[in-house]
Amino acid sequence: MNNWNDGYVVDIAYTYGYYPGMNPARLPLAFAFHGLQAPAVQTACELGFGQGLSSNIHAAASTTRWWGNDFNPRQAAFAQELAAASGSGAQLEDSSFSRFCRRDDLPDFDFIALHGIWSWVSQENRDIIFDFIDRKLKPGGVLYISYNTQPGWSAFMPLRELLVQHTQQSGNEEQGLPTAARIDAALAFAARLFEADPVYAQANPFMRDRLKVLQQQSRSYLAHEYFNRDWHVESFADMHRRFSGAGLEFACPAHYVDHLDMANLTPAQRQQLYEITDPVLQQSVRDFMVNQQFRRDYWVRGAQALDDRQRVQALALQSVILLTEPDKVPLTIQNVASEITLNRLIYEPILQALSDYQPHTLVDLAASLAHRNLNLAQVLDSVLMLIGTGHAAPLPAEPDAATRAQIERRTGDLNAWLLQRAALASPAGEQGEEGEITHLSSPVIGGGVRVDRVEQLFLLARQSCGDDVDAWPAQVWRYIAAQGKRLLREGVRLEGEAENLAELATQARLFARTRLPLLKALGVV
């Protein structure tokens, strides 16, 4: 590969993912749950922002000023388009880590985010990133970092090494095969290898299913997840040794479900874990118990502890809002080891109380449910689960009227740009749904809300047709047909125009009745 990209895949674009853990508005609740004071985030930076969707959504939906870099020029150009569309002033540039991290004109940051970067870049770049964090993260500032970890990757690592080795064959390089073609060839090779029943497959029988999952995933995702030259797996203890040298302490998980040991560990596992007093060993043991594969963590420079009174007050006054229609929230979820069923006697009253799609403080929510014998602790645990599974969100502090109007204007402009993009055919070179953006910006939660492409097209049709729901399907069908796509009904592709219009009519009425009121409440519309 060329030297400028430091071994990172650049000939195939990264997916348009949105990552809520990078939303600074989620810090206060997570930190308070663990007895810590979260900082006010005025300046933030994302290193290796990919397509820049997360940074741009958060910049538009808050007063936080964002900076960032990505060394893929095409991705950086797209991120800059988003920033220009919203008018947020986000400074997102096409730059290597070595150049960006050594700039002398950057501010110090309250929040630095790295998603999908740390485990996938060279040791030299990791040293540059570490030095940047050491120099530029403010006292009290927070680092969000996600990374591959042990022991969850131990069985997969030999297969990943084999796949990469196959893509790097000299024959592939001489023929100039693109990354996607090399990945296809490597997966086909591995499938043939497994048919020969190697002892590795016998010792790790679940890897056969893992290979089948890989074969079904998008090549854009696989290229950036598994096929970079550099690919590291680090234990929590390794990360602690590294970042404690910069004065950082582990604060808490960024993935809200990981706050809830009751949902992830058996009683025997919890008992053994709670007997461990060393916090580093405790995290390492927890990773072992859940076979942790990917960590998403918040680290803080100079943690400010809350006393019991301050902690209870911070939790009680935290506001939350629903992101999913109550009847669409599943009460059976898959945790790290098994399927668990949420208690209907707890969750159904909470969902009903939140069904007005308005913000509710946890203390008011608990007070309104006292007659159902629910207390603040039960409400808190349930809300953390709803947030962790993407069905609710914490709210940032309420801004003044002028600031709120500015944020609403920026999110409105960004969403208008994204809706227009949804009407266009998928960009050249992308396959399937890889080019789709499935989130819009909400000024209410300071972050992204999932809105799939058909829903975006309904919103676009509503702009031209108003609330005449019966007129939406024809408008949306023009967009879909122009892209050469068709709808699916129960997994079956609908080929004829009449069938597609009938399905769109059904979906439009359902969207207008159930989803649209929620998006209005969230300020997306």
**Per the structure, how many domains does the chain have?**
4
Q: Is residue 346 part of a domain?
A: yes
Q: Are residues 451 and 508 in the same domain?
A: yes
Strongest mean pLDDT among 54-63, 228-237, 338-347:
54-63
What per-residue confidence (pLDDT) applies to 429?
A: 32
11 has pLDDT over 60: no
- Is residue 215 in some structural domain? yes
* 29 and 162 co-located in one domain: no
What CATH number did the domain enclosing 144 receive?
Answer: 3.40.50.150
Residues 303 and 348 in one domain: no
Tell whether pTM > 0.75.
Answer: yes
- Segment (H or E) for 441: strand 439-442
Per mean pLDDT, which range of 272-276, 356-360, 490-494, 521-525 is the poorest? 490-494
**Of the candidates 254, 274, 308, which is a domain's last residue?**
308
The pLDDT tens digits of the residues spanning 31-68 come to 999 999 999 999 999 999 999 999 999 999 999 999 99
Residues 14 and 75 in one domain: yes
Question: Does 12 map to a domain?
Answer: yes
Residue 87 lies in a domain: yes
3-state secondary structure of 260: coil
- Mark whether 271 and 124 lie in a shared domain: yes
Q: Which of 109-118, 165-174, 429-438, 486-495 has the lowest mean pLDDT?
A: 429-438
Of 164-178, 269-283, 296-310, the range with the lowest mean pLDDT is 164-178
The domain in which residue 487 lies consists of 401-428+436-521
Q: Tell me if 286 sits within 8 A of 130, measured CB to CB.
A: no
In this prediction, residue 466 has a pLDDT band, given cuts at 50, 70 and 90, of: very high
Asked whether residue 147 falls in the same domain as residue 261, the answer is yes
Query: Could you tell me if 35 and 146 lie in one domain?
Result: yes
- Return the SS3 of 139: strand
Q: Are residues 287 and 348 in the same domain?
A: no
CA–CA–CA angle 42, 44, 47 (5° rounding): 175
Domain assignment present for 212: yes
Verify that 19 and 117 share a domain, yes or no: yes
What average pLDDT does range 174-194 have in this prediction?
85
Q: Which of 203, 226, 249 is the last residue of a domain?
A: 226
Strand, helix or coil at 356?
coil
| Alpha helices in 103-146, H assignment, sequence order | 123-136
* 3-class secondary-structure state, position 353: helix
pLDDT of amino acid 336: 63
Contacts of 200 (CB under 8 A, 6+ apart): 158, 159, 207
Position 326 in a domain:
yes
What is the predicted pLDDT for the residue at 170? 58
Please check the confidence at residue 382 and state whether its pLDDT lies above 90: yes
pLDDT of residue 438: 94
Among 253, 287, 308, give the residue marking a domain's end: 308
pLDDT of 4 strictly over 90: no
Q: Do 197 and 110 share a structural domain?
A: no
Q: What confidence score (pLDDT) does residue 431 get?
A: 34
Q: What pLDDT shows up at residue 430?
A: 35
For the segment 15-26, the average pLDDT, to the nearest whole number, is: 94
Residue with tokens 């680092």: 143
Rg from Cα positions in the chain: 24
What token pair was written down for 418? 């994204």
Q: How confident is the model at residue 175 (pLDDT cuts 50, 70, 90)?
A: low
Would the pLDDT of 6 be above 60? no
φ, ψ of residue 113 in degrees (nearest 5): -125, 135
Closest to 226 measured CA to CA, from 181, 168, 166, 163: 163
209 and 294 share a domain? Answer: no
- 313 located within any domain: no
Q: pLDDT (tens digit, 9 = 90+) per residue, 418-460?
A: 999 999 855 333 333 456 899 999 999 999 999 999 999 999 9
Pairing between strand 65-70 and 91-94? parallel
Q: Which of 99-103, 178-182, 203-207, 355-359 has the lowest mean pLDDT?
A: 178-182
- Regarding whether 217 and 182 lie in a shared domain, the answer is yes
Residue 314 forms part of a structural domain = no
Is 60 exceeded by the pLDDT of residue 133? yes
